[in-house]
Amino acid sequence: MRFSKMHGAGNDFVVLDLRHGAPAPTPALCAQIADRHFGVGCDQILTIEPARSAASVASYRIWNADGSPSGQCGNGARCIAAWLVRDGSAPAAGDFSIESPAGLHPVARAAEGGFVIDMGVPRFEPPEIPLAGLGRARDEYTLDVDGRPLRFGAVSIGNPHAVLEVEDVDAADVAGIGALLQRSAAFPESCNVGFAQVLAPDRIRLRVYERGAGETLACGSGACAAAAVLARRGRVNTIAGVAVELPGGQLHVRQSPDSGTIFMGGPAAFVFEGEWP
């Protein structure tokens, strides 16, 4: 089984081409591949599959390190785009579209290199996240988790996110609070948990504790979620654009003033090619 090891700002992936009938990896195989000591090592496995519509060049699915499926992965989308261009399945110049489990994503070239992904319109209504038991959509929710009051915003970027604004991301209890929120009944499908520090209206720092993977060096959908939640509170200006500094690198998020669509740009890099025995 041939694979490519790739990363987007340190968020790393094993990419498998399943377009010719190979089966999807089982949870056990995902865990073996993702293991950083006994496998290849990655945050997620990405499987390239035939296009589901004439509008896209290919579709892809996302498997977390524990084998659970995910609906969206912004850094993974850029890596899929770069893989398809190198493969010749996507045009070497010009725009094209790819499909995640969350839907169709137009892809454009970034002026500074890399790709810009159309991540869709953020969804704040609780049933669409999904978020249970906390009533109508609000800029901020308060939830008592194991006797600990937590204040957070919630949004879907094709997958569920909780976003906590903190004074210092370096001091944030990312693993502790992240695990608490992921286990909470308020998030029936679990969630990715972001910890955001606002530096300026056009810049934030962010750490993300991802469901099925733990803390990662970058999270593309998490960057979009943090920007969207903070923009809803007036803390950042996504129309002008926001630089999101993550442990593995920097992503750029901007939002259409007309449609509300979020666009996310950043790097996509090949690390090595291999064969799984």
Q: What is the pLDDT of residues 97-154, one digit of tens each?
A: 999 999 999 999 987 778 999 999 999 999 999 999 998 999 999 999 888 899 999 9
As a whole number of angstroms, the distance between CA 82 and CA 187 comes to 33
Q: At 277, is the pLDDT very low, low, confident or very high (cuts 50, 70, 90)? A: confident
pLDDT for 84 equals 98
pLDDT for 219 equals 97
Residue 22 Cα distances to 40, 42, 104, 166, 226, angstroms? 19, 21, 23, 44, 36
Decide if 2-120+267-275 and 126-260 have a common fold.
yes
Q: Is residue 72's pLDDT more than 80?
A: yes
DSSP string, 142-181: EEEETTEEEEEEEEESSSEEEEEE-S-GGGS-HHHHHHHH
pLDDT for 110 equals 87
pLDDT for 122 equals 98
pLDDT for 250 equals 96
**Would you identify the CATH topology of the domain 126-260?**
Diaminopimelate Epimerase; Chain A, domain 1 (3.10.310)
pLDDT for 113 equals 76
Scanning the chain, the segments in alpha helix (DSSP H) are 27-34, 74-87, 174-183, 220-232
Report which residue type is found at 263: F
**Average pLDDT of the segment spanning 47-66:** 96
Assign domain 2-120+267-275 to a CATH class. Answer: alpha beta
For the chain, give the mean pLDDT: 96
First to last CA, the chain: 7
Asked whether 84 and 231 are in contact (CB, 8 A), the reply is no
Q: What is the pLDDT of residues 177-205, one digit of tens each?
A: 999 999 999 999 999 999 999 999 999 99
3-class DSSP state of 127: helix
Active site residues: 73, 219
pLDDT for 146 equals 82
Domain layout of the chain by residue ranges: 2-120+267-275, 126-260
Query: 134 is written with which tokens?
Result: 């906390």
Q: What is the pLDDT of residues 209-246, one digit of tens each?
A: 999 999 999 999 999 999 999 999 999 999 999 999 99
Q: What's the pTM?
A: 0.94
